[in-house]
Amino acid sequence: MSSARAQANHGLYLAKIQLAGWRRALAAQEIPAVTLAQAFQPAARERLLAAYGWFLLAVSGSEQLTDRPPRSCAGLPGIAAGKAVPGEIREFQQLESAGWLVELLSERDVAVRNAPLQGNLAVPSQELASCEQVQQWIDKLEALFDRMSDSLDEY
């Protein structure tokens, strides 16, 4: 397994740990759900974006490993002259423009209203992803990684 693929798998693993912690905190009912979403969702999303970026590097065959993976196909190193863009990358490009990856890739600031609701100091001004949404992102990334890893291993 390449280093980029290992990093991608590790990112998914860490996102699952964050999601489990989020669910435990929700079950404890000690902190408002909206505050927990502000604490956990951005961190889990960042782990998933990193996992996605590392996997993009693995799929593209890039030997250029950096400290930070790309956040989308647009951030990938250029394809060598005479080489075709891998079908997996074309599939990811489609998902980034009109698929479920649009939501994961969209930049969202975790803004806080100036006037908090009673009993809650931190209230987002926009809807954050829920635990269920983060679980769906994890499931979809895992399914893609598994399917594409199988096809890449055949080469």
5, two tokens: 């693929």
* CA end-to-end span of the chain: 13
Domain boundaries, the chain: 3-77+84-106+124-154
For 69-81, write each residue's pLDDT tens digit: 999 999 998 877 8
Q: pTM here?
A: 0.83
User: What's the rounded Cα separation, in Å, for the pair 45 and 29?
Assistant: 23
For 105-125, write each residue's pLDDT tens digit: 987 654 444 445 555 555 544
Q: What is the pLDDT confidence band of residue 84, given thresholds at 50, 70 and 90?
A: confident
Higher pLDDT, 42 or 61: 42
b/e for 30-60, b at 16 or more Cβ within 10 A?
A: eebeebbbbbbbebbbebbbbbbbbbbbbbb
